């Protein structure tokens, strides 16, 4: 723990430094326009004059405005502390039932993420079992699974939403289907590899016991596949979250992290967009960390750690 602490801090500090450094040139033109409106003398005078100037040059010529670039209301690129403040405000200071609470929107997205992840994982495991045990499925399923992943999700998501809407299904379920669509694939690939991972000697051993293929599944193939399954689940849960967010975009949903991104971009609320993005990233990190924890516990119990 202690050993990994400093490298992590170091990397985060580096990223923050780059972020802050980028804020200044990104926002300088807006900051100068605002300053000029408030009666400051800006070189060169007039927004039109400045439009084609290099941002770096403007920063050098107007060092007084650097401070302003970190405090704009609708910056092109919000500074980290602005995003942090917004995150704090919209999670801690708002009632979680409020439409302005990020926790509320996060929960909406999380619930369809989890439902979709459960469906996708279940489907993925079943398909993998089919592929490993059935020759016809072995030959036929994988090409379709691969093909399904080459279709851009942004193209297919609206169709899924519309189709489900037309049969009266709204809200969590269509979004969960998109999550499942994205998350079943890594599970299929990982589980097929995992179920096929036992070496020949372990398989021969079962044969000398005249074991049934059911016994072979429960006592050999399934336990051997566990490390592969967990690796897939980590990819799958992150894909599920992306699926749920994407599922919220095309309908102009009013609830969920995707809706926050969408409304933020309608109204130029960059801080809101960034805080929703960061919120989604934190959620993804938490989910992956949870799966890692379950993985540790499971593999530890199996004596494989």
Partner 1 sequence: MSRDSVIEARSLNLTFATNDGPVHALSDVNLTINKGDFVSFIGPSGCGKTTFLRALAALEKPTSGTIRVNGLTPDEARQKRAYGYVFQHAGLYPWRTIAGNIKLPLEIMGFSKSEQLRRTDEVLRLVELEDFSKKYPWQLSGGMQQRASIARALAFDAELLLMDEPFGALDEIVRDHLNEQLLELWQRTDKTICFVTHSIPEAVYLSTKIVVMSPRPGRISDVIESPLLAERPLEIRDSPEFIEIAQRVREGLRAGHGSE
Contacts with partner 1 by CB under 8 A lie at 201-202, 204-212, 215, 219-220, 223-224, 226, 302-304
Given the complex with partner 1, which of 148 and 213 has the nearer CB atom? Answer: 213
254 CB contacts (<8 Å, ≥6 apart)? 99, 263
CB 105 within 8 A of CB 175: no
Number of residues that make up the chain? 305
Given the complex with partner 1, which of 10 and 209 has the nearer CB atom? Answer: 209
> In 3D, which of 220, 223, 227, 225 has the Cα closest to residue 202?
220
Task: State the nearest-atom distance from the C-beta of 196 to partner 1, in Å.
Answer: 16
Task: State the nearest-atom distance from the C-beta of 167 to partner 1, in Å.
Answer: 45
Name the H helices within 152-256: 153-166, 172-195, 200-208, 213-216, 222-248
- Distance between CA atoms of residues 151 and 162, nearest Å: 17
- Distance between CA atoms of residues 156 and 213, nearest Å: 39
Given the complex with partner 1, which of 98 and 212 has the nearer CB atom? Answer: 212
- Distance between CA atoms of residues 264 and 102, nearest Å: 13
Task: State the nearest-atom distance from the C-beta of 304 to partner 1, in Å.
Answer: 5
Task: State the nearest-atom distance from the C-beta of 207 to partner 1, in Å.
Answer: 6
Q: Tell me the two tokens of residue 154.
A: 């942004």
Given the complex with partner 1, which of 144 and 209 has the nearer CB atom? Answer: 209
E strand or H helix at 102: helix 102-133
Given the complex with partner 1, which of 35 and 206 has the nearer CB atom? Answer: 206
């Amino acid at each position: 723990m202690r050993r990994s602490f400093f490298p992590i801090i170091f990397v985060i500090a580096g990223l923050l430094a780059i972020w802050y450094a980028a804020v200044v040139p990104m926002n300088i033109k807006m900051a100068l326009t605002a300053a000029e409106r408030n009666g400051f003398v800006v070189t060169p005078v007039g927004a039109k004059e400045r439009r084609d100037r290099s941002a770096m040059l403007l920063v050098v010529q107007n060092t007084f405005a650097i401070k302003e670039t970190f405090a704009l209301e609708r910056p092109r690129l919000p500074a980290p502390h602005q995003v942090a403040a917004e995150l704090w405000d919209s999670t801690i200071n708002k009632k979680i039932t409020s439409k302005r609470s990020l926790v509320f929107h996060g929960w909406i997205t999380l619930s369809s993420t989890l439902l979709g992840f459960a469906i996708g994982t279940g489907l993925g495991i079943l398909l993998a079992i089919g592929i490993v045990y059935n020759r016809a499925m072995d030959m036929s399923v994988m090409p379709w699974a691969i093909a399904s992943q080459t279709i851009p999700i942004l193209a297919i998501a609206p169709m899924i939403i519309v189709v489900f809407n037309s049969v009266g299904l709204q809200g969590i379920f269509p979004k969960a289907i998109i999550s499942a669509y994205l998350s079943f694939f890594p599970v299929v690939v990982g589980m097929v590899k995992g179920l096929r991972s036992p070496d020949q000697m372990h398989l021969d051993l079962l044969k000398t016991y005249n074991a049934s293929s059911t016994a072979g599944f429960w006592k050999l193939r399934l336990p051997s596949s566990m490390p592969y399954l967990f690796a897939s689940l980590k990819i799958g849960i992150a894909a599920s979250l992306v699926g749920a967010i994407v599922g919220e975009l095309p309908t102009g949903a009013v609830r969920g992290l995707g809706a926050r991104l969408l409304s933020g971009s309608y109204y130029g609320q960059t801080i809101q967009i960034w805080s929703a993005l960061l919120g989604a990233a934190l959620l993804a990190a938490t989910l992956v960390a949870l799966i890692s924890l379950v993985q540790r516990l499971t593999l530890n119990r199996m004596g494989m750690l």
